[in-house]
């Protein structure tokens, strides 16, 4: 019976390894670099369930395919100021 349990756990681990081998997992630091945001913002997206992630030990991992879920997110905060056209450039 013990041998059967051992074989099934090895088989399960092997199947998970095959399934996840085609998926590229990124660390939160890599996600922040790819999205051009801070590490804290990535952690907030994960905490608010806007970015799916898996915790392994103490680290969080995000599938590369899931980056599209937040790549086109709405930007919050104050919009950038537009440069005013000076009078000297209008006269020309």
Say how far apart CA 71 and CA 66 lie, in whole Å: 9
Tell whether pTM > 0.75. Answer: no
Within a domain: residue 11? Answer: no
Structural domain total, the chain: 1
In degrees and rounded to multiples of 5, residue 24 shows phi and psi of -90, 115
Per-residue pLDDT of the chain (92 residues; tens, 9 = 90+): 444 455 567 777 766 666 655 568 999 999 999 999 999 999 999 999 999 999 999 999 999 989 988 887 666 677 778 776 666 555 55
Residue 20 to residues 60, 66, 75, 81, 84, Cα–Cα distance (Å)? 15, 14, 32, 45, 52
Q: Is residue 4 part of a domain?
A: no
pLDDT at 1: 46
What's the confidence (pLDDT) of residue 71? 81
- For residue 38, the domain's CATH number is 1.10.10.10
- Domain containing 53: what range? 19-71
Task: Identify whether 7 is part of a domain.
Answer: no
């Amino acid at each position: 019976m013990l041998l059967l349990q051992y074989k099934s756990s090895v088989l399960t681990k092997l199947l998970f390894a095959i399934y996840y081998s085609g998926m590229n997992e990124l660390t939160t630091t890599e996600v922040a670099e790819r999205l051009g945001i801070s590490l804290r913002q990535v952690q907030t997206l994960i905490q608010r369930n806007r970015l799916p992630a898996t915790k392994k030990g103490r680290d969080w991992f995000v599938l590369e395919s899931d980056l599209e879920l937040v790549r086109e997110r709405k930007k919050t905060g104050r919009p950038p100021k537009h440069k005013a056209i000076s009078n000297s450039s209008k006269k020309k």
